[in-house]
Amino acid sequence: MATKNVRAKNFLTETIHSNDIFTPEDFSDEHKMIADMTEKFVINEVMPALSKIENQEFDETIRLIKEAGALGLIGADIPEEDGGLDLGKVSGAIIGEKMALGRSFSITFGGQTGIGALPIAYFGSRAQKEKYLPDLLSGSKIAAYALTEPSAGTDALGLKTTAVLADDGKHYILNGEKQWITNSAFADVFIVYAKVDSKQITAFIVEKNSEGLSTSPEENKMGLKGSSTRSLILDQVKVPVENVIGEIGRGHIIAFNVLNIGRYKISASALGSSKRSLELAVKYANERKQFGRPISSFNLIKQKLAGMTIKTYANESAVYRTAGAMQDGFEEMKDSGKEYGKTIARFAVECSINKVMSTEALDFVVDEAVQIHGGYGYMAEYEVEAIYRDSRINRIFEGTNEINRMIIASTILKNGKQPLENKQVNDGPLHREKQTIQLMKEYLDSTIQAIHQAGFDDLNEEQEAAAFLADLAIAIYVSESAILRTDKLLTKNGDDRSAQILDCTKVYVHETAQWCAIKGLNILNHLNDNEQFSQTIGRLISSSPDNMVAIKRRIADRIIAAERYMV
């Protein structure tokens, strides 16, 4: 895949050009083949079995995991030397997006390909990889990730599960309880995090037949009924010392980095669910008639369809921009010999940005889809009802969105103030939007200054300021992703063939800028204000003279005609 390492630049302070980023329009023939194969697998194999999967007939789930393994879908972005296909992060994102159609099955699949297999693939010893990865990548064995505890969710450092070296020096004895463990009913291998000597967080590979290991009954969940979610009980479980992943006391490094990848994979899945929700909504709107006409002809419905499309376009732009940057980072790692942990950590902010942005965009999109369905959207026989229930957990999975906002803000503040490039914006279809992005970066810079001047550097205490700073960073990254992608396509295809994406970008950038400005008004006094901060808010609110109502009607008309997400 030919891309450039955009992560070499800081998206908050430096100028990034459209040719620096990867977009869906850059998909290779191989990428398109993977997308087609995954979609056919889900439609032809997974969806016909969904009723059984939702009824927790786990034999179906296990069968389908094996089929996915036989197709190479589990090991797509695992290195070849470890038994994978090494197709890259873009391919992994494509698979995650397409697999979202499988609803509960996609969670099982994601647990296998992401947080289940990656601790071994990225941090395991050669012996561990040779012993476990062939079965995990083929789907003949299934993995589960056991980090969360009743008193420690995202707080990995607060673990209570203990690991004590046995007298024989050949085993660790694990005791504790893990909560809400995906795939736990049928997992063959558990990645368990425990504290050695009550202080050194360490990752262990624990096999299901270990004496003293058991699981609770299935949790009765709001959504994702077909996935397995249980507690994992460890009572004097003996684990061979050779099953320690990495080093004693370095398990939190593994946990945090694997969670970064998990967050990114959730964003791709959320994108797939957004596209499906939009498709269901527009088809229903065209079929449903009220007052003698399809409800898709009413302008308030059009505004909803347009809003769903706009957020999905921005979401898609950010997800694949990040996929391309991560792919380049991993390729660079191979050449330089860097460690997985250091490479993944470079993208921690982008992974958190994508996770927050995609899951919140999905909740907006599927909520509007239910509203368009009216009373039928509340009925269990309609697919959109299940997507609505299933989607809610995404803002909690892999670190709540609040935690991810704290990660974004603390990382930005820790990196310190950097000089902001004064970018000269030339005339063109997106010149006003590019000016708005530059203004938003100045706004973020002013916010950092205001936080320092107010003495609010302890973001664990000043969480409102942290969330605001994170929201600005998310807005900048996603808006800029849409602008760069659209600019790239305008250069390639011209204005006439790019009308839909141009419209989507204009609305997204300006509505996002206005939203950020309004949030700024609400926190301005807490930050003790500064003159530049106040001036920037006013400029963002009045950032566009365009008729947004008319633009949204145009966007909706194209979606109504296509009856699916299209750009």
Q: Dihedral (C-alpha) 103, 365, 405, 465: value to the nearest 10 degrees?
A: -160
**Do residues 435 and 497 lie in contact, with contact meaning Cβ atoms separated by under 8 Å?**
no
Q: From residue 235, how far is each of 72, 81, 212, 502, 504 by CA, in Å?
A: 36, 36, 5, 59, 55
Burial of 373 (0-12, 13-18, 19+ CB in 10 A): buried
Residues with Cβ < 8 Å from 249, sequence gap 6 or more? 196, 199, 200, 201, 202
> SS3 of 380, please?
coil
Separation between Cα atoms, residue 67 and residue 112, nearest integer Å: 13
In b/e form, how buried is each residue of 196-211, taking b as 16+ CB within 10 angstroms?
A: beeeebbbbbbbbebe
> SS3 of 173, please?
strand
> Phi, psi at residue 164, to the nearest 5°?
-120, 130
Supply angle C-alpha 307, 311, 316, rounded to 5.
Answer: 145
Burial of 527 (0-12, 13-18, 19+ CB in 10 A): buried
User: How many Cα atoms within 13 Å fall on the side-chain side of residue 314?
Assistant: 31
User: How many Cα atoms within 13 Å fall on the side-chain side of residue 518?
Assistant: 6
Separation between Cα atoms, residue 524 and residue 465, nearest integer Å: 10
- Tokens linked to 125: 């010893």
Separation between Cα atoms, residue 359 and residue 394, nearest integer Å: 6
- Tokens linked to 466: 């942290």
Asked if 149 is an active-site residue, the reply is no
Give which of 256, 246, 263 is closest to 129, Cα–Cα: 246
- Tokens linked to 542: 């009045």
**Do residues 449 and 285 lie in contact, with contact meaning Cβ atoms separated by under 8 Å?**
no
Strand partners, 215: 232
Give which of 466, 468, 450 is closest to 458, Cα–Cα: 466
Pairing between β-strand 293-294 and β-strand 162-165 as defined by DSSP bridges: unpaired
**Do residues 495 and 502 lie in contact, with contact meaning Cβ atoms separated by under 8 Å?**
yes
**Do residues 314 and 504 lie in contact, with contact meaning Cβ atoms separated by under 8 Å?**
yes
Residues with Cβ < 8 Å from 468, sequence gap 6 or more? 447, 519, 520, 523
Q: 60, 316, 350, 398: which one is catalytic?
A: 398
Specify the DSSP class assigned to residue 550: H
Separation between Cα atoms, residue 218 and residue 180, nearest integer Å: 9
Separation between Cα atoms, residue 231 and residue 235, nearest integer Å: 13
- Tokens linked to 554: 């145009």
The residues that are catalytic are 398
